[in-house]
Structure 1
Amino acid sequence: MLNLEFLTSQFLILAQEEGAKSSLQSLIIIPIMLVAMYFLVILPNKKEEKKRKEMIGNLQKGDTVVTSSGLHGKIVEFKDNNETVVLSVSANTNVTFDTSAILKKKV
């Protein structure tokens, strides 16, 4: 009887130690995952957004651009302190877009 109680208490002690190790490992894994997510997701998105803002800032009249909706056009003028841009999409058709809708500049 004494041996059974001793074995049971030893088993419970080992189980508690394993539980403590498991929770400690969980606490270590979470920051590692956050750091990995920063380098794999957030940092590349920041770099891409910086490039895009730089491209939009360097646009000039006469540049051919593509909007986020897929419309191709030539910049005719900028309005509202460069907040909006007027694109010429055909001979007599001009369309106004926010500059944030410009996806890329065609070469």
Structure 2
Amino acid sequence: MIAPQMKRAKQEKKFAAELKRGDRVITKSGMHGKVVDFNDKDASCIIETLAGKIKFDRSAISMEMSKKLTEPEKAK
């Protein structure tokens, strides 16, 4: 039970570290946007949405939903 949780935590940490400007992301609360800037002091990033720019913690970005957003759609 512990090993899968540790593997998932490691993957999420790697995903957050590999984010770059211009990446389209979805937060865990469902907010869609594009990464504009990073702040390494407090591990946050600024995401641009249609409503404006919002500051989020990097851990608030959903790895699964963001990867689904960037994957090409599969033909049925």
TM-score by length of 1: 0.57
Counterpart CA distance in 2 for 1:103 and 1:42 is: 21
Q: How many residues are aligned here?
A: 66
Alpha carbons 1:82, 1:99 under 8 Å: kept: no
Answer with 1 or 2: which has the greater Rg: 1
**Percent of matched pairs sharing the same residue:** 35
Tell me whether 52-61 or 78-87 shows the greater mean CA deviation: 78-87
* Structure that is richer in helix per residue: 1
The answer for the alignment partner of 2:22 in structure 1 is 62
Q: 2:57 is matched by which residue type in structure 1?
A: D
The answer for the alignment partner of 1:98 in structure 2 is 57
The answer for the alignment partner of 1:85 in structure 2 is 45
Counterpart CA distance in 1 for 2:48 and 2:12 is: 21
Structure 1 unaligned regions, length at least 5: 1-40
Moved over 4 A (4+): none
Structure 2 unaligned regions, length at least 5: 71-76
Query: Aligned with 1:97: secondary structure?
Result: strand
Higher relative contact order (CA 8 A, sep 6+): 2
Counterpart CA distance in 2 for 1:82 and 1:57 is: 13
